[in-house]
Structure 1
Amino acid sequence: MNAAHPDDTAHEEVAALLERGRALATPALKQAVARLAPPMDTIAAYHFGWIDAQGRPADGDGGKSLRPALALLSAEAAGADPAAGVPGAVAVELVHNFSLLHDDLMDGDEQRRHRDTVWKAHGPAQAILVGDALYALALEVILRAGDESAARAARLLTDASRRLIDGQAQDITFEHRERVSVEECREMEGNKTGALLACSAAIGAVLGGADEATAAALLSYGEHLGLAFQAVDDLLGIWGDPRATGKRAWSDLRQRKKSLPVVAALAARNAAADRLTALLTADVKKSREEFDDFGEDEFAVRAALVEEAGGRSWAEAEARRQHDEALAALRGAAALPAGVRHRFEALADFVVVRRK
């Protein structure tokens, strides 16, 4: 038998971590969701992919389970059993999906994971209610542990949730501004994505009794990992294959998002940046109805200008830079077992090279 290629081995290792996240967290996640009053319980189950729109069992996995995988791994960073991180894994997944339900409605996204979003299938009111319910469940899951570590974990979760909401508010505001700086965009994305990934990377360790230095190092790792994750998402939001992303082509351009590639392109000093600035300045003044009438070729022109101005290459470099910062942050966790450190590094590599 041939020896496995190093890339294949790393892929298998990450796949095993993600599968462990699903296997350990999903039963507890389903138990939490089952406590919701009808019809919120079934609507939440639809959102997670456990049932279809008619209530029949479905084989959706609810996503990649990166956050649960981080939470379980961080419990091991504290020397605890991975199971100690399960409440944290469930809580971060509930908060993440609370944000997705509301984001889909605010952004007008009709598809997620190749299916109708909850607001499209069940109406805006239910999307809001189910999202709120998932957030309440997240705190309940953490606080049911009832010890000092649970209180520390709850503080982590509420801080991350507040920052996540701040980031969403910034994101919406940016859509109606002609100019957004790269630093403003990075701050928004640190709030919207970095905060919850940072929480995911530390919450299991806190539940497992980690010291402050270890928890702080893992928080920093997760923050930079979140910025790398979002940079890749921003690239996929413009150039991702709809068959892989489950969203329409040029998704972020359709929503007038000031994502990293766009903001970096606008900040460039070249002819493509000037042309892009003129187009996007005019777009801000258009109504949503006018903008929705744009043809595919108009979005293709904007995407080409973002790339020509250098926005695509800048975002790719930013993803790599944040990846490197995440790995550097792990040095602050001096007592981290070598095997656990290696798996954190493998997850960081996965975030930057993922394609869907």
Structure 2
Amino acid sequence: MGIFAIERESREGVEAIEVLARSRAVVDPVLRAAVESLPAAMRRVSGYHFGWWEADGTDSTAGSGKAIRPALVLAAAQAVGAARPAVAVRAAAAVELVHNFTLLHDDVIDRDDTRRHRPTAWRVFGATEAILAGDAMHSLALRVLAEDEHPAAAVAVRRLADCVVELCEGQQADCAFERRDDVSLAECLAMAEAKTGALLGAACAIGALYGGAGEQAADALDAFGREIGLAFQLIDDLIGIWGDPAVTGKPVGADLAARKKSLPVVFALAADRPGSARLAELYALDRPLTATELHEAAAAVDQAGGRAWAQSESCERMASAIAHLADAVPDPSAADDLLALAELVTRRAY
């Protein structure tokens, strides 16, 4: 990689951080006010999950993630010509509430112990409390939109509700795949689009509608978001196998230990290449994998081509995303923030 490419990536990273910071400055107050309206028990779990306070209610510096989805809402509104992107701030908060409702439920379903380098909410408060807090966040998201006076709010409610149904479908498929040995790559890609791409697409489409765009442009930005969502998932799956625990906050090879049918794994299992058979043997074992076996499984995915395919597919999805973006936003300079965010989520190290 040449020095100019390195400088470009560095510049894009800085730009994305600035976009996220601007988004947080306007969205966080609305988000916090919404969570503060919850009943005390659900407010306590939600605030802990967001990283705002500890389990005992004292302030925390844990952090609440990058908040990419609300930033996409505001960036999409700006890209289509909104005079003031903050016009979509309530929509951005609603999207972030939906995202975190899914995280609370996912952690329970997957029995994950840590998120953002500290115990997950269900581990601290119990599965019932975490599920109920997630349910409350979902309803809160719809209320935040329903109380918005923006003319696009009604359409946004419908799009967000449809998105949640799709998210649930993706999660159900993901869980079902764990019990199946015959998951196809096409099924796995469809699951990833529903589970990850749908909300990124909805965030972009809703932002566009709040910015005054028509349904055609909103649909193109929905497609843009879905494609970067798939690119994101491909990289996330690579991180789930080869990610640094110091960065991910999860044990090395966590997805392999859980026998997840992630995209690189499904490709490798179906590839009929060196490594495919050994990976199938390891995934068929009816006991936890040893540290040596986890290393073997990761090597088998690599040997069968799963790693290289996921890297290449991620680049292709990003190229497709940019084509959809050009359909919705002909002026490239207007899409700078959207592109910076897309680069951020698809060029993560692992």
TM range (shorter): over 0.9
| Equivalent of residue 296 in structure 2, options 289, 295, 301 | 301
Query: In the alignment, what sits opposite 1:245?
Result: 248
2:274–2:303: 8 Å Cα contact kept in structure 1?
no
Determine if contact 2:27/2:70 at 8 Å carries over to the other structure: yes
Q: Does 1:38 align with 2:40?
A: yes
Q: Does the alignment pair 1:58 with 2:60? A: yes
Unmatched tracts of structure 2, length 5 or more: none
Counterpart in the other structure of 1:325? 320
Give the counterpart of 1:155 among 158, 178, 192: 158
Deviations along 1:50-79, one digit per CA (max 9) or x if unpaired, are 001222101233111111110011111232
Question: Partner letter of residue 7 of structure 1?
Answer: E
Residue 352 in structure 1 maps to residue 342 in structure 2: no
Counterpart check, 1:261 vs 2:255: no
Residue number among 61, 77, 80 corresponding to 1:78 in the alignment: 80
Partners of 1:254 and 1:314 lie apart in 2 by: 21
1:15 aligned onto 2:17: yes
**How far apart are residue 184 of structure 1 and its match?**
0.4
Aligned-partner residue type, residue 105 of structure 2: H
Equivalent in the alignment of 1:204: 207
TM-score, normalising length from structure 2? 0.95
Match of 1:112 among 104, 107, 115: 115
Give the drift of 1:146.
Answer: 4.1
- 1:168-208 per-residue CA deviation (whole Å, 9 max, x = no partner) reads 00000001111211100000000000000001112122123
Alignment counterpart, residue 220 of structure 1, candidates 220, 223, 226: 223
With structure 1 as the length reference, what TM-score do the two structures score?
0.93
1:126 matched to which residue of 2?
129
**Structure 1 unaligned regions, length at least 5:** none
Partner of 2:308: 313
The answer on 1:96 being equivalent to 2:99 is yes
How far, CA to CA, are the matches of 2:98 and 2:232 in structure 1? 17
Percent identity between matched residues is 45
Contact (CA 8 Å) 2:69, 2:200: kept in 1 or not?
yes
For these two proteins, the number of residue pairs brought into alignment is: 345
Q: Work out whether 1:338 is the aligned partner of 2:340.
A: no
Cα distance in structure 2, aligned partners of 1:306 and 1:104: 25
Measure the CA separation in 2 of the matches of 1:8 and 1:352.
Answer: 14
